[in-house]
Amino acid sequence: MEVVRAENVYPWEGKAQKPKEGEFIKLNPDKTIEVPDKPIIPYIEGDGIGAEITPAMIHVVNAAVEKTYGGSKRIIWVEVLAGDKAEEKAGDRLPQETLEFLKEAVVGIKGPLGTPVGKGVRSINSALRRAFDFYSAVRPVYWMGQPTPIPDPQRVDVVVFRENTDDVYAGVEFFSGTDEAKKVREFLIKEMGAKEEGFPEDVGITVKPMSEFKTKRHVRKALRYALENGRKNVAVIGKGNIMKATEGAFINWAFEVAQEPEFADKVLTDPEAQPNEGQVKLSKVITDQMLMQLVLKPDAWDVVIAQNLNGDYVSDLAAALIGGPGFVPSGNIGDGYALFESTHGTAWDIAGKGIANPLSLTLSGAMMLEYIGWREAAQKIYEAVKKTFEDKVGTPDIAAGFKKLGIEAKAVSTYEYAQEIAKRIQ
């Protein structure tokens, strides 16, 4: 199947182009954003299938914006480099120029980036996360008609807010048998009162930091989202009964946020409370309970607030319910700065064949439109995608999914699928 290049964009040409048209989104001192009618949005194509799904996403987003606003609003797409293409063209996997452009533009979107296995190769995704302090990874999971492993996927409609900067990902680890592990073990036993039986001589240790500041800013973001989007049932999860100083504290801090003046009369915490219009209810749920509930009664929750590791598990389980990460968008969001991205990886096994499913990135594009306040255009994308499923047309993985359920479906290329979606935008 044919691979198509992006249309109506400013591709990278020796450097990221500064177009004469359009303006950058403005970040206000209070961290809100001001969006011009022609915002300059940088995009990173991504490695592997990135070169295929990015043009597809741009085609659909442009069609939705055009249909919604005529010519009065338009995205000015500018390519910035990262990953393999950056290494090849600029000799650096994450050029300074890219970081500067993303900073100036405030909001951007990216395809998947691979992390080559080997020493000294830094992960671009985590470098970007650090550079912009994207402290919340937001993943809305909803069903649009695609083939799924569960019989009642319409019940799944949940947004997972995963804290993105804390927890065991800090990378502070001491391997069994090393001097460091021995030192930390001795400190814990001799000075901190840890029991020897829990720390035998061959122990390896991973540190799990969790801070009040990082937790509270994340929780505020999730509660604001729930209130702004009419999402009533919000759960904060964790195994606070076991890890009291970290996950237990996370849950307590979440309830403290609920008492802050901004939220006190809008966030109900009484287990018996029924939220009215303009209110949400915050509940505490043990992580393993949440994992079960997502499968057994997925409609119980609208928003799940999670720590980094638990959020990782919960968002993948939720995604699996509606067909896998290929159907789920995601946004990395900090104080105003936001970078939207596909949830799957580079899929080198199918790259260059024109068969990759562009939905994760395309829906991330729609999520980005919502973020900049262009909700009507985002809605048109959701409706059009639903129609493609009703009409049983999609990339080969989608068609194969339908066939497994005994339903005939038409398989088309990545770009043709984007065109099928765009055709159905009304």
Mapping DSSP onto H, E and C, the string for 21-42 reads CCECCEECCCCCEECCCCEEEE
125 annotated as ligand-binding: yes
Catalytic residue among 10, 135, 169, 371: 169
Which range in 69-77, 95-103, 106-114, 307-315 contacts ligand NAD by CB under 6 A?
106-114
Active site residue 133: no
DSSP, residue by residue, 147-186: --SSS-GGG-EEEEEEE-SSGGGG--EE-TTSHHHHHHHH
Active site residue 169: yes
| Under rule CB under 6 A, residue 293 binds ligand NAD | no
Which CB sits closer to ligand NAD, 267 or 399? 399
DSSP, residue by residue, 56-89: HHHHHHHHHHHHHHTTS---EEEE---THHHHHH
Nearest residue to the partner ligand NAD, using Cβ: 345
Binders of ligand NAD among residues 114 to 153 (CB under 6 A) are 114-115, 125
Cα within 13 Å of Cα(112), Cβ side: 25
DSSP count for the chain of H helices, then E strands: 13, 18
312 annotated as ligand-binding: yes
Compute the least distance from the CB of residue 118 to ligand NAD, in Å: 11
Catalytic residue among 166, 167, 312, 397: 312
123 annotated as ligand-binding: yes
Compute the least distance from the CB of residue 341 to ligand NAD, in Å: 5
Residues 216, 220: Cα–Cα separation, whole Å: 6
Which range in 112-120, 145-153, 273-281, 402-410 contacts ligand NAD by CB under 6 A?
112-120
Instruction: Give the number of residues in contact with ligand NAD, rule: CB under 6 A.
Output: 17
Residues 40, 34: Cα–Cα separation, whole Å: 12
| Under rule CB under 6 A, residue 326 binds ligand NAD | yes
Active site residue 288: yes
Compute the least distance from the CB of residue 125 to ligand NAD, in Å: 5
Residues 6 or more apart whose Cβ sits within 8 Å of residue 139: 159, 160, 162, 315, 318, 319, 328, 329, 330, 331, 343
Residues 6 or more apart whose Cβ sits within 8 Å of residue 374: 35, 65, 68, 69, 73
Q: Please choose, from the candidates 17, 93, 61, the residue with its C-alpha nearest in 3D space to the C-alpha of residue 361.
A: 61
Pairing mode, strands 26-27 and 33-34:
antiparallel
Residues 324, 344: Cα–Cα separation, whole Å: 9
Active site residue 47: no
Compute the least distance from the CB of residue 416 to ligand NAD, in Å: 14
Which CB sits closer to ligand NAD, 45 or 302? 45
Residues 6 or more apart whose Cβ sits within 8 Å of residue 250: 163, 210, 215, 236, 238, 240, 307
| Under rule CB under 6 A, residue 19 binds ligand NAD | no
Which CB sits closer to ligand NAD, 115 or 154? 115
Residues 6 or more apart whose Cβ sits within 8 Å of residue 195: 189
Q: Could you list the beta-strand ranges (E) of 334-389.
A: 338-342
Token pair in block for residue 253 = 């801090």
Catalytic residue among 239, 353, 386, 392: 239
Give the x/- contact pattern for ligand NAD in 331-370, rule: CB under 6 A.
Answer: ----------x--xxxx-xx-----xx-------------
Which CB sits closer to ligand NAD, 240 or 329? 329
Residues belonging to the active site: 169, 239, 288, 312
- As annotated, the binding site for D-threo-isocitrate includes 123, 125, 129, 139, 162
Binding residue positions: 123, 125, 129, 139, 162, 312, 357, 404
Query: Which residues would be at the binding site for ligand NAD (CB under 6 A)?
Result: 49, 112-115, 125, 326, 341, 344-347, 349-350, 356-357, 397
